Amino acid sequence: MVRTAALCVALAASLSIGGCDDDTSSNGDAGAGGDLSAPPVPQPLARFAVIGDFGVDTSDEMDVAKLVKGWGPDYIVTVGDNNYPNGEADTIDANIGQYFAPFIGGYTGKYGPGAEQNRFWPALGNHDWYATTGDQPYLDYFPSLPGNKRYYDVVVGNVHFFAIDSDEHEPDGIDATSTQAAWLEQALTASTSCFNIVYFHHPPYSSGQDIFVQPRMRWPFLAWGADVVLTGHQHHYERLLVGGLTYVVDGLGGALNRFPFNPAPEVGSLVRYNGDFGALFAEVYDGGRITFTFRNTHGVVIDRFDVARDCSAPHNMFDAGL
Protein backbone atom coordinates (compact mmCIF):
# COMPACT_ATOMS: atom_id res chain seq x y z
CA MET A 1 0.00 0.00 0.00
CA VAL A 2 2.75 2.44 0.89
CA ARG A 3 6.12 2.92 -0.73
CA THR A 4 8.78 5.38 0.40
CA ALA A 5 11.95 6.84 -1.09
CA ALA A 6 13.97 9.36 0.94
CA LEU A 7 16.49 11.81 -0.43
CA CYS A 8 18.47 11.43 2.78
CA VAL A 9 19.49 8.18 4.40
CA ALA A 10 18.75 7.48 8.05
CA LEU A 11 20.41 10.21 10.04
CA ALA A 12 22.41 10.45 13.23
CA ALA A 13 20.86 12.38 16.09
CA SER A 14 22.74 15.59 15.41
CA LEU A 15 21.98 19.13 14.35
CA SER A 16 23.21 18.63 10.79
CA ILE A 17 22.43 15.95 8.29
CA GLY A 18 24.80 16.51 5.39
CA GLY A 19 24.29 15.24 1.90
CA CYS A 20 20.99 17.05 1.25
CA ASP A 21 20.85 19.56 -1.59
CA ASP A 22 18.34 22.16 -2.67
CA ASP A 23 15.44 20.81 -4.68
CA THR A 24 16.54 21.00 -8.30
CA SER A 25 13.86 18.82 -9.90
CA SER A 26 13.00 19.65 -13.50
CA ASN A 27 10.07 21.88 -14.31
CA GLY A 28 9.69 20.37 -17.77
CA ASP A 29 11.44 23.20 -19.68
CA ALA A 30 13.49 21.69 -22.51
CA GLY A 31 15.90 24.65 -22.57
CA ALA A 32 18.99 24.82 -24.73
CA GLY A 33 19.83 21.38 -25.96
CA GLY A 34 16.86 19.86 -24.10
CA ASP A 35 14.82 16.93 -25.37
CA LEU A 36 11.74 18.48 -26.93
CA SER A 37 10.18 15.04 -27.29
CA ALA A 38 10.29 14.34 -23.54
CA PRO A 39 6.84 13.84 -22.00
CA PRO A 40 5.54 16.75 -19.91
CA VAL A 41 6.14 16.64 -16.19
CA PRO A 42 2.91 15.65 -14.40
CA GLN A 43 1.25 18.51 -12.57
CA PRO A 44 -0.31 17.95 -9.13
CA LEU A 45 -4.05 18.08 -8.68
CA ALA A 46 -3.57 19.93 -5.39
CA ARG A 47 -0.83 21.02 -3.01
CA PHE A 48 -1.02 21.37 0.74
CA ALA A 49 1.42 22.24 3.51
CA VAL A 50 1.69 20.71 6.99
CA ILE A 51 2.99 22.76 9.92
CA GLY A 52 3.23 21.95 13.61
CA ASP A 53 4.30 23.66 16.83
CA PHE A 54 4.32 27.05 15.16
CA GLY A 55 2.15 29.61 16.97
CA VAL A 56 4.68 31.81 18.79
CA ASP A 57 4.85 35.11 16.82
CA THR A 58 8.63 35.05 16.41
CA SER A 59 11.05 35.46 13.52
CA ASP A 60 11.27 31.67 13.29
CA GLU A 61 7.53 31.36 12.76
CA MET A 62 7.75 34.18 10.23
CA ASP A 63 10.43 32.31 8.30
CA VAL A 64 8.30 29.17 8.22
CA ALA A 65 5.24 31.16 7.14
CA LYS A 66 7.23 32.78 4.32
CA LEU A 67 8.43 29.35 3.21
CA VAL A 68 4.88 27.99 3.20
CA LYS A 69 3.18 30.93 1.51
CA GLY A 70 5.99 31.25 -1.03
CA TRP A 71 5.27 27.71 -2.15
CA GLY A 72 1.62 28.61 -2.80
CA PRO A 73 -0.33 25.74 -1.21
CA ASP A 74 -4.03 25.30 -1.87
CA TYR A 75 -4.60 24.68 1.84
CA ILE A 76 -2.76 24.16 5.13
CA VAL A 77 -3.01 21.39 7.71
CA THR A 78 -1.62 21.83 11.23
CA VAL A 79 -0.60 19.15 13.71
CA GLY A 80 -1.18 21.21 16.84
CA ASP A 81 0.25 23.82 19.18
CA ASN A 82 -1.21 26.64 17.15
CA ASN A 83 -1.24 29.18 20.00
CA TYR A 84 1.57 29.45 22.55
CA PRO A 85 2.07 29.70 25.43
CA ASN A 86 -1.35 29.12 26.98
CA GLY A 87 -3.88 29.07 24.16
CA GLU A 88 -5.51 32.31 25.28
CA ALA A 89 -7.76 34.50 23.16
CA ASP A 90 -5.47 37.52 23.51
CA THR A 91 -2.58 35.76 21.72
CA ILE A 92 -4.31 33.64 19.11
CA ASP A 93 -4.65 36.23 16.34
CA ALA A 94 -1.03 37.37 16.56
CA ASN A 95 0.13 33.76 16.62
CA ILE A 96 -2.03 32.46 13.77
CA GLY A 97 -3.95 35.13 11.86
CA GLN A 98 -0.96 37.41 11.43
CA TYR A 99 0.71 34.75 9.32
CA PHE A 100 -2.10 32.65 7.87
CA ALA A 101 -5.28 34.78 7.75
CA PRO A 102 -5.66 34.39 3.94
CA PHE A 103 -6.30 30.67 4.48
CA ILE A 104 -8.82 30.92 7.34
CA GLY A 105 -12.53 30.81 6.50
CA GLY A 106 -14.84 32.99 8.57
CA TYR A 107 -11.83 34.95 9.81
CA THR A 108 -12.69 37.93 12.04
CA GLY A 109 -9.23 39.05 13.20
CA LYS A 110 -7.30 42.18 12.33
CA TYR A 111 -4.84 40.84 9.75
CA GLY A 112 -6.94 40.77 6.61
CA PRO A 113 -10.20 39.55 5.11
CA GLY A 114 -9.50 35.82 5.43
CA ALA A 115 -10.58 33.19 2.93
CA GLU A 116 -13.97 32.94 1.21
CA GLN A 117 -13.81 29.19 1.82
CA ASN A 118 -11.78 27.68 4.63
CA ARG A 119 -8.32 26.46 3.59
CA PHE A 120 -6.86 26.04 7.09
CA TRP A 121 -7.46 22.73 8.86
CA PRO A 122 -5.85 22.65 12.33
CA ALA A 123 -5.60 19.98 15.00
CA LEU A 124 -5.50 20.74 18.71
CA GLY A 125 -2.22 20.60 20.62
CA ASN A 126 -1.58 20.64 24.35
CA HIS A 127 -0.83 24.39 24.35
CA ASP A 128 -4.21 25.01 22.72
CA TRP A 129 -5.85 23.54 25.84
CA TYR A 130 -4.01 25.60 28.47
CA ALA A 131 -6.31 28.63 28.51
CA THR A 132 -8.40 29.35 31.60
CA THR A 133 -11.41 28.31 29.50
CA GLY A 134 -9.69 25.27 28.01
CA ASP A 135 -9.97 24.98 24.23
CA GLN A 136 -12.71 27.64 23.93
CA PRO A 137 -10.48 30.34 22.35
CA TYR A 138 -9.45 27.81 19.69
CA LEU A 139 -13.05 26.74 19.02
CA ASP A 140 -14.18 30.37 18.75
CA TYR A 141 -11.32 31.34 16.44
CA PHE A 142 -12.10 28.70 13.79
CA PRO A 143 -15.82 29.06 13.01
CA SER A 144 -15.57 27.12 9.74
CA LEU A 145 -14.37 23.84 11.21
CA PRO A 146 -16.93 21.02 10.93
CA GLY A 147 -18.31 18.71 13.59
CA ASN A 148 -17.34 19.44 17.18
CA LYS A 149 -14.12 21.13 15.89
CA ARG A 150 -11.96 19.09 18.30
CA TYR A 151 -11.97 16.12 15.95
CA TYR A 152 -13.50 16.19 12.51
CA ASP A 153 -13.04 15.09 8.93
CA VAL A 154 -13.02 16.94 5.64
CA VAL A 155 -12.68 15.80 2.03
CA VAL A 156 -10.55 17.93 -0.28
CA GLY A 157 -10.42 16.49 -3.79
CA ASN A 158 -9.41 12.84 -3.55
CA VAL A 159 -7.91 13.23 -0.07
CA HIS A 160 -9.92 12.58 3.10
CA PHE A 161 -8.47 14.28 6.18
CA PHE A 162 -9.19 13.19 9.74
CA ALA A 163 -8.15 15.64 12.48
CA ILE A 164 -7.91 14.01 15.92
CA ASP A 165 -7.50 15.50 19.40
CA SER A 166 -4.69 13.57 21.11
CA ASP A 167 -4.60 15.69 24.27
CA GLU A 168 -5.58 14.12 27.58
CA HIS A 169 -8.15 16.91 28.11
CA GLU A 170 -10.25 15.50 25.25
CA PRO A 171 -13.66 14.67 26.81
CA ASP A 172 -14.26 11.80 24.37
CA GLY A 173 -10.99 10.08 25.27
CA ILE A 174 -7.74 9.28 23.50
CA ASP A 175 -7.49 5.50 23.93
CA ALA A 176 -8.13 3.10 21.06
CA THR A 177 -11.44 2.12 22.70
CA SER A 178 -12.61 5.71 23.29
CA THR A 179 -15.64 7.43 21.79
CA GLN A 180 -13.30 9.48 19.62
CA ALA A 181 -11.53 6.37 18.32
CA ALA A 182 -14.84 4.69 17.54
CA TRP A 183 -15.79 7.75 15.49
CA LEU A 184 -12.51 7.57 13.58
CA GLU A 185 -12.84 3.86 12.86
CA GLN A 186 -16.35 4.35 11.51
CA ALA A 187 -15.36 7.41 9.47
CA LEU A 188 -12.32 5.70 7.96
CA THR A 189 -14.35 2.62 7.09
CA ALA A 190 -16.95 4.75 5.35
CA SER A 191 -14.41 6.79 3.38
CA THR A 192 -14.53 6.45 -0.40
CA SER A 193 -11.60 8.80 -1.09
CA CYS A 194 -8.37 7.60 -2.64
CA PHE A 195 -6.28 8.74 0.33
CA ASN A 196 -7.06 8.81 4.04
CA ILE A 197 -4.75 11.04 6.10
CA VAL A 198 -4.99 11.03 9.89
CA TYR A 199 -3.29 13.83 11.82
CA PHE A 200 -2.97 14.90 15.45
CA HIS A 201 -0.45 16.37 17.88
CA HIS A 202 1.18 13.76 20.16
CA PRO A 203 3.31 11.19 18.29
CA PRO A 204 2.67 7.54 19.13
CA TYR A 205 6.21 6.70 17.99
CA SER A 206 9.31 8.89 18.13
CA SER A 207 13.08 8.80 18.57
CA GLY A 208 12.82 11.89 20.77
CA GLN A 209 12.37 12.33 24.49
CA ASP A 210 9.95 9.81 25.98
CA ILE A 211 7.99 12.52 27.78
CA PHE A 212 6.77 13.77 24.40
CA VAL A 213 5.58 10.35 23.16
CA GLN A 214 1.97 9.23 23.67
CA PRO A 215 1.63 5.41 23.54
CA ARG A 216 -2.13 5.75 24.10
CA MET A 217 -2.35 7.01 20.49
CA ARG A 218 -1.12 3.71 19.05
CA TRP A 219 -4.47 3.02 17.48
CA PRO A 220 -4.82 0.44 14.65
CA PHE A 221 -4.81 3.17 12.02
CA LEU A 222 -3.71 0.91 9.17
CA ALA A 223 -6.35 -1.71 9.90
CA TRP A 224 -9.00 1.01 9.98
CA GLY A 225 -7.92 2.37 6.60
CA ALA A 226 -5.35 5.16 7.11
CA ASP A 227 -2.63 5.70 4.51
CA VAL A 228 -0.35 7.97 6.56
CA VAL A 229 -0.33 9.50 10.06
CA LEU A 230 1.00 13.05 10.64
CA THR A 231 1.90 14.38 14.12
CA GLY A 232 3.95 17.06 15.91
CA HIS A 233 4.78 17.83 19.58
CA GLN A 234 8.43 16.80 19.26
CA HIS A 235 10.20 19.90 17.92
CA HIS A 236 12.02 18.06 15.18
CA TYR A 237 11.30 16.13 11.98
CA GLU A 238 11.17 12.36 11.78
CA ARG A 239 9.73 9.77 9.42
CA LEU A 240 9.10 6.25 10.63
CA LEU A 241 7.64 3.08 9.14
CA VAL A 242 5.87 1.11 11.87
CA GLY A 243 3.77 -1.95 11.16
CA GLY A 244 3.60 -1.10 7.47
CA LEU A 245 2.30 2.45 8.04
CA THR A 246 4.21 5.72 7.60
CA TYR A 247 4.26 8.05 10.61
CA VAL A 248 5.65 11.59 10.36
CA VAL A 249 6.63 13.91 13.22
CA ASP A 250 6.53 17.47 11.89
CA GLY A 251 7.20 19.79 14.84
CA LEU A 252 9.58 22.37 13.37
CA GLY A 253 7.05 25.13 12.73
CA GLY A 254 9.08 27.72 14.61
CA ALA A 255 8.23 27.23 18.28
CA LEU A 256 11.02 27.94 20.73
CA ASN A 257 13.87 25.43 20.85
CA ARG A 258 14.41 22.36 18.70
CA PHE A 259 14.38 19.01 20.48
CA PRO A 260 17.17 16.40 20.56
CA PHE A 261 16.94 12.75 19.60
CA ASN A 262 17.66 9.78 21.82
CA PRO A 263 21.00 8.01 21.20
CA ALA A 264 19.15 4.91 20.02
CA PRO A 265 16.55 5.55 17.30
CA GLU A 266 13.04 4.20 17.59
CA VAL A 267 12.51 0.96 15.70
CA GLY A 268 11.27 1.91 12.23
CA SER A 269 12.90 5.35 12.18
CA LEU A 270 14.05 6.24 8.67
CA VAL A 271 14.88 9.96 8.70
CA ARG A 272 15.62 12.31 11.61
CA TYR A 273 16.38 16.03 11.46
CA ASN A 274 16.54 18.95 13.90
CA GLY A 275 19.00 21.29 12.21
CA ASP A 276 16.53 24.10 11.41
CA PHE A 277 12.84 24.94 11.32
CA GLY A 278 10.74 24.04 8.29
CA ALA A 279 7.53 22.56 6.93
CA LEU A 280 6.19 19.49 5.15
CA PHE A 281 4.79 19.96 1.65
CA ALA A 282 2.52 17.53 -0.21
CA GLU A 283 1.64 17.28 -3.89
CA VAL A 284 -1.39 15.17 -4.80
CA TYR A 285 -1.17 13.53 -8.23
CA ASP A 286 -3.71 11.81 -10.42
CA GLY A 287 -3.39 8.05 -10.46
CA GLY A 288 -2.92 7.49 -6.73
CA ARG A 289 0.22 9.21 -5.47
CA ILE A 290 1.08 11.90 -2.93
CA THR A 291 4.66 13.15 -2.84
CA PHE A 292 5.70 14.58 0.53
CA THR A 293 8.76 16.84 0.84
CA PHE A 294 10.17 18.36 4.02
CA ARG A 295 12.13 21.59 3.47
CA ASN A 296 13.87 23.72 6.02
CA THR A 297 13.51 27.51 6.00
CA HIS A 298 16.51 27.83 3.66
CA GLY A 299 14.62 25.75 1.09
CA VAL A 300 16.87 22.72 1.49
CA VAL A 301 15.14 19.40 0.88
CA ILE A 302 15.62 17.21 3.94
CA ASP A 303 13.35 14.31 3.03
CA ARG A 304 11.07 13.21 0.22
CA PHE A 305 8.80 10.19 0.08
CA ASP A 306 5.73 8.94 -1.75
CA VAL A 307 2.50 7.47 -0.48
CA ALA A 308 0.94 5.57 -3.35
CA ARG A 309 -2.00 3.21 -3.69
CA ASP A 310 -4.49 1.75 -6.13
CA CYS A 311 -7.46 4.06 -5.78
CA SER A 312 -9.83 1.31 -6.92
CA ALA A 313 -8.81 -0.98 -4.05
CA PRO A 314 -10.46 -0.86 -0.60
CA HIS A 315 -8.49 0.78 2.20
CA ASN A 316 -9.42 -1.68 4.89
CA MET A 317 -7.86 -4.88 3.57
CA PHE A 318 -8.70 -6.71 6.79
CA ASP A 319 -12.43 -6.13 6.52
CA ALA A 320 -12.25 -6.84 2.79
CA GLY A 321 -10.73 -10.23 3.51
CA LEU A 322 -7.64 -9.51 1.41
pLDDT digit string, tens, across residues 159-191 = 999 999 999 999 999 999 999 999 999 999 999
Percent of the chain with pLDDT over 90: 83
- Within the chain, residue ranges assigned H as helices are 59-71, 89-92, 98-100, 136-141, 179-190, 221-224
The residue-averaged pLDDT of 189-215 equals: 97
Q: Distance of CA 248 to CAs 93, 119, 128, 207, 316, Å?
A: 27, 22, 21, 11, 21
pLDDT digit string, tens, across residues 59-99 = 999 999 999 999 999 999 999 999 999 999 999 999 999 99
Run of H or E including 153: strand 152-156
pTM, full prediction = 0.88
Is the Cβ–Cβ distance between 306 and 5 less than 8 Å? Answer: yes
Bond prior to 85 in cis (omega within 30° of 0): yes
Domains in the chain (CATH in brackets) are 47-301 (3.60.21.10)
What amino acid occupies position 41?
V
The residue-averaged pLDDT of 308-322 equals: 70
What span, in angstroms and rounded, lies between the C-alpha atoms of 56 and 195? 32
